[in-house]
């Protein structure tokens, strides 16, 4: 048994887990330990992560996934969900605190690794992970390698511009894909109604709710088509809170995807699959970071 630890930093919680990297991990039942802390202000993040690592016990390696722009050296340049997150040296400072190297990467990259290794992307040669939560995150695994870009900032797919005159995004720009296809986007399209309420009404056959979901599904498909036109993947894994309504939303997305994709009759379409590891994907993937390098 080789115990390795991963910590997923989210907007509200830091989730740490321990897995046996020599065995398959299919969900919570395969975790050897888990610890949860509330996500603090960025100034206290390293302290919190050190506490999580301490509670997880003796492990061979430690990885951390954080949302936002994370450099190849583990510095958080900016994060949309962590207050005060400007040039925080999470990797270097946490490594110094623990007296060992800590591997730090973007949380979308970590989740992509987990789904590629253990989940819905298993066996894929060219896979995108797309997380449709409060915002939109992503990660791209090509031939077993996470594509990080020159600075480590690749995969910020939520900020692809899909409508230059669209509403302002939390990033300060206008018309990002995240504005329309995230959980916040669904709420905006519904005129302020919570997305879970829209979905519940749609399940009863409510016409107005179904119309909102059709609009939402079209925006989701636009982004997925852009990713496909750009990188020609064989699998796109869709996770995040919105994916919990996959039974009603995904048939709409599939239909719009076929309509928006370039030359759909002349190509093989990537498989659109729902993520399998749920809220643990980011932490499990963080535990894989040392094995796959950052």
196 & 218 share domain: yes
138 & 162 share domain: yes
185 & 67 share domain: no
Assign residue 94 the CATH number of its domain: 3.30.420.40
pLDDT over threshold 90, residue 11:
no
> Which band of pLDDT confidence, cut at 50, 70 and 90, is reported for residue 80?
confident
58 & 135 share domain: no
Domain that holds residue 26: 3-111+279-292
169 & 131 share domain: yes
The string of pLDDT tens digits covering residues 193-232 is 999 999 999 999 999 999 999 999 999 999 999 999 999 9
SS (H, E, C) the chain: CCEEEEEEECCCEEEEEEEECCCCCCCHHHCCEEEEEECCCHHHHHHHHHHHHHHHCCCCEEEEEECCEECCCCCEEECCCCCCCEEECHHHHHHHHHCCCCEEEEHHHHHHHHHHHHCCCCCCCEEEEEEECCCEEEEEEECCEECCCCCCCCCCHHHCECCCCCCECCCCCECEHHHHHCHHHHHHHCCCCCHHHHHHHHHCCCHHHHHHHHHHHHHHHHHHHHHHHHHCCCEEEEECHHHHHHHHHHHHHHHHHHHHCCCHHHCCCCEEEECCCHHHHHHHHHHHHHHHCC
**The predicted structure's pLDDT at residue 245:** 87
The string of pLDDT tens digits covering residues 16-43 is 999 999 999 988 999 999 999 999 999 9
Instruction: Read off the pLDDT of each residue in 59-86 and give the average, rounded to a whole number.
Output: 92
167 & 183 share domain: yes
**The predicted structure's pLDDT at residue 240:** 87
288 & 247 share domain: no
**The predicted structure's pLDDT at residue 172:** 87
């Amino acid at each position: 048994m080789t115990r390795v630890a991963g910590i997923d930093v989210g907007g509200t919680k830091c989730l740490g887990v321990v897995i046996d990297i020599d065995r398959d991990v299919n969900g919570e039942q395969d975790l050897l330990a888990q610890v949860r802390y509330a996500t603090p202000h960025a100034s206290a993040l390293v302290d919190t992560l050190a506490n999580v690592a301490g509670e997880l016990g003796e492990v061979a390696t430690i990885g951390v996934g954080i949302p936002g722009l994370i450099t190849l050296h583990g510095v958080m340049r900016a994060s949309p969900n962590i207050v005060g997150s400007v040039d925080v040296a999470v990797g270097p400072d946490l490594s110094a605190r623990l007296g060992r190297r800590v591997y730090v990467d973007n949380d979308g990259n970590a989740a992509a690794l987990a789904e590629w290794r253990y989940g819905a992307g298993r066996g894929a040669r060219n896979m995108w992970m797309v997380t449709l939560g409060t915002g939109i995150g992503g990660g791209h695994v090509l031939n077993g390698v996470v594509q990080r870009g020159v600075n480590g900032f690749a995969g910020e797919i939520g900020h692809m511009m899909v409508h230059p005159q669209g509403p302002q995004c939390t990033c300060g720009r206008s018309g990002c894909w995240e504005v329309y296809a995230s959980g916040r986007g669904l709420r905006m399209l519904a005129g302020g109604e919570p997305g879970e309420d829209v979905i519940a009404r749609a399940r009863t056959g409510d016409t107005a709710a179904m119309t909102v979901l059709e609009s939402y599904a079209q925006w989701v498909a636009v982004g997925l088509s852009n990713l496909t036109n750009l990188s020609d993947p064989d699998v796109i894994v869709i996770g995040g809170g919105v994916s919990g309504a996959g039974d009603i939303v995904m048939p709409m997305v599939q239909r719009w995807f076929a309509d928006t994709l370039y030359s759909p009759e002349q190509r093989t379409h990537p498989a659109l699959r729902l993520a399998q590891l749920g809220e643990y994907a980011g932490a499990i993937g963080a535990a894989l970071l040392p094995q796959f390098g950052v």
